[in-house]
Structure 1
Amino acid sequence: MVTAGDQEMVSGEKKRYCMLMAARDSEYVKKVYGGYFNVFLKAFAEEGEEWDLFNVVDGEFPDMDELYKYHGFVISGSPYDAYGNELWILKLCFLLQTLDAMEKKVIGICFGHQVLCRALGGKVGKANDGWDLGLRKISIVEDLPLCSLFGVLEEIPPSLTIIECHQDEVWEVPLGAEVIAFSEQTGVEMFVIGDHILGIQGHPEYTKDILSNIIDRLANNNSVQKEFAEDAKSRLEINGEPDRKSWEKICKNFLKGVVITPPY
């Protein structure tokens, strides 16, 4: 386990969060950012918080008796399939079922979004339209069931742009879940369960250079055709920037314990 943050809050209480890392650091991210953990900290962490890192991909998990100490949890993306039966994925599913029963705040990103869905009774699998690599405009549903999810924004936007990097998708959300965003390529871009579970298919934490490096690695190991990779990188260069600031606000708003109530 790695711990980040040792500064006490003004009240004397330290808010504590848990990062469940389902991917190993690439050489590029280690060199430029010091690891994916730092990428997430920059996007989601605030002064006075403590963040603990568990590399679940390597079988490292928080003690079940310590879960109550955390204010929230984040599950990263991963090159693994969320519907796979590797031991660590099955153990992660059990952990997520426990967190749901405890009504702990949980945000799942990409693989995390998909494995949350699987663990809580939904269905995931290969995307019908294949790889989605690049910037994607996702549409926010009207009359959001939990509109204060966007309470830190001036208004609820009809759409937001996010970086996508996946070949799997959610086929069917769990019972009780509500889809709150979709795109032309993916039917479930975001879903919520109550006020404690949030799944996001895209990567609010990614920068364009991180994705560009991933595309290169996918082409080099023949996971995607080189022509497809070149086209994806070309589109990435001309399609502007993702709405990272808005995504960071949304994730922080959800994770940090903002009370969310229906709009009626």
Structure 2
Amino acid sequence: MSSKTIGILVTGHSPAELADEHGNYADMFKRLLGKFDFSFKTWFVVDGSFPESPHEADGWLLTGSKFGVYEEHAWIRKLEDFIRQVHAARVPMVGICFGHQVMAKALGGHVEKFEGGWSAGPVTYRRSDTGEEQVLLAWHQDQVIRVPEGAEVIGKTDRCENAVIRYDDWGLSYQPHPEFSPDFFEGLASARRSAIPDSLYDAVKRVDQPVATERVATEIGEFLARDR
């Protein structure tokens, strides 16, 4: 497999009080995929900075965000258009949380706030493709309610039916956050405490079990590194 350039499309800013220690979301993905022979380019699409072409990178990675994909922001609509261009060009793409949701929406799926409320903290994801159970860190209320035609759901939880989606050989997306370290997650929970109920905060403010970071990092890296 030859060296690849991965374009990171940053769709949100990490809390300012955590930035010195943990960096931005692009920094987290660079660390997550550090064992692969990748170079990276970064576009802060949340601030209106976009690539000119799907071919400016060999693969694309969409980050998480505090925004909802259904919100009326010009950059979100432009991002949906770009995703469709990347899909048409068959340049591989991976999406995380907001990225997972906006990929589905751009290709004809539906996203909304889950009436059952938040998923936050360590959550067990059941993978139908591998038979594994993977504990990963979740931080979301929105979720994909209907997947696009032709997409395959390969991971779910008791509270999220469409948590990992595969789009043939083109795309792969995850509702949880493999890029979040336990330390960052605990800081995020504190910084965004007002967003979630006190009872949920009390349950997730400390991450006290191992998470499947390495396993999912390998899966993402191998997917983006594959010669097509």
Partner amino acid for 2:201? A
Distance 2:163 2:26 in 1: 23
In structure 2, what is the Cα distance between the partners aligned to 1:169 and 1:137?
16
The residue identity in structure 1 corresponding to 2:157 is S
Match of 1:51 among 40, 52, 55: 40
Pair 14,246 (structure 1): closer, same or farther in 2 beyond 3 Å: closer
Alignment of structure 1 residues 1-264 onto 2, 5 Å: 15-46=4-35, 48-64=37-53, 67-141=54-128, 144=129, 156-219=130-193, 222-234=194-206, 236-237=207-208, 240-257=209-226
- Residues paired across the two proteins, number: 228
Distance change (3 Å), C-alpha of 1:69 and 1:87: closer
* Higher alpha-carbon Rg: 1
Counterpart amino acid of residue 123 in structure 1:
H
Q: Is the CA contact 1:179–1:188 (under 8 Å) kept in the aligned structure 2?
A: yes
**Structure 2 residues not aligned, in runs of 5+:** none
Q: 1:34 to 1:223 in 2, by over 3 A?
A: closer
Q: For structure 1, which runs of at least 5 residues remain unmatched after alignment? A: 1-10, 145-155, 260-264
Deviates more, 1:201-210 or 1:23-32: 23-32
User: Which amino acid letter does the alignment assign opposite residue 72 of structure 1?
Assistant: G
In structure 1, what residue type is equivalent to 2:220?
Answer: C
- Where 2:111 maps in the other structure, the secondary structure is strand
How far has the Cα of 1:225 moved from its partner? 2.7
- Using the aligned pairs only, state the percent identity: 25
- CA distance, structure 2, for counterparts of residue 115 and residue 57 of structure 1: 13
Q: Which residue identity is paired with 2:219?
A: I
Q: 1:183–1:30: structure 2 CA closer, same or farther, 3 Å change rule?
A: same
Secondary structure class of the residue paired with 1:163: strand
Contact 2:26–2:63, Cα closer than 8 Å, also in 1: no
Contact 2:4 2:59 in 1 (8 A): no
Q: In the TM superposition, what is the alpha-carbon distance from 1:104 to its structure 2 partner?
A: 1.0
Q: CA deviation at 1:33?
A: 2.4
Q: Which amino acid aligns with 1:84?
A: E
Residues 126 and 133 of structure 2 are in contact (CA less than 8 Å); yes or no, is this contact kept in structure 1?
A: yes
1:212 deviates by 1.1
Coordinate RMSD, CA, aligned: 1.8
Question: 3-state SS of the aligned residue for 1:171?
Answer: strand
Structure 1 counterpart SS, 2:158: coil
Match of 1:262 in 2: none
Tell me if the contact between 1:30 and 1:36 (Cα under 8 Å) persists in the aligned partners: no
What's the CA shift string for 1:189-222, capped at 9, x where partnerless?
1011110111100011111111111111222xx2
Query: Is the contact between residue 29 and residue 36 of structure 1 (CA under 8 Å) also seen in structure 2?
Result: no
Cα distance in 1 for partners of 2:81, 2:93 equals: 14
- Partners of 1:29 and 1:55 in 2: CA distance: 18
- Taking the aligned partners of 1:86 and 1:27, their CA distance within structure 2 comes to 22
Q: Distance in 2 between the 1:76 and 1:29 partners?
A: 17
Normalised TM-score (structure 1) = 0.81
Give the C-alpha shift of residue 158 in structure 1: 2.3
Per-residue deviation at 1:85?
1.8
Give the match's secondary structure for 1:179: strand
- 1:46 offset after TM fit, Å? 4.3
CA distance in 2, matches of 1:175, 1:47: 32
